[in-house]
């Protein structure tokens, strides 16, 4: 069974606000690199964001919640690296 990628409402809104080139780059990254095996590419976060994972795409970060039982990667937050962890 393959992994499925879902967007939280706030992440979809943030993706829509990005310029088209960066938004397409992020979508391509998610489909080609994250969807086949999400834990091979990203890094687990620590501290109060501990259950979440992060992916780097240029200066942008994608924060995700990975559910191993349902094989779903939920994109929680997308933003520039200077603002994403605040």
pLDDT digits (tens, 9 = 90+) for 1-22: 689 999 999 999 999 999 999 9
60-67/52-57 β-pairing: antiparallel
Query: CA distances (Å), 13 to each of 16, 31, 39, 40, in order?
Result: 5, 19, 25, 27
Can you tell me which residue has the tokens 């393959």?
2
Q: What letter does residue 42 receive in the DSSP assignment?
A: S
Write phi, then psi, for 82 (nearest 5 degrees): -75, -20
pLDDT tens digit string along 16-68?
999 999 999 999 999 999 999 999 999 999 999 999 999 999 999 999 999 99
Fold of 4-80: YaeB-like fold (3.30.2310)
Domain borders along the chain are 4-80
Predicted model pTM? 0.92
- C-alpha 76/C-alpha 10 separation (Å) is 7
């Amino acid at each position: 069974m393959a992994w499925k990628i879902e967007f939280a409402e706030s992440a979809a809104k943030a993706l829509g606000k990005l310029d088209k080139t960066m938004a397409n780059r992020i979508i391509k990254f998610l489909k080609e690199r994250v969807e086949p095996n999400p834990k091979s590419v990203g890094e687990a976060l620590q501290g109060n964001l501990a259950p979440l994972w992060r992916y780097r795409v240029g200066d942008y970060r994608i924060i995700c919640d990975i559910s191993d039982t349902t094989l779903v990667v939920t994109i929680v937050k997308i933003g520039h690296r200077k603002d994403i962890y605040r």
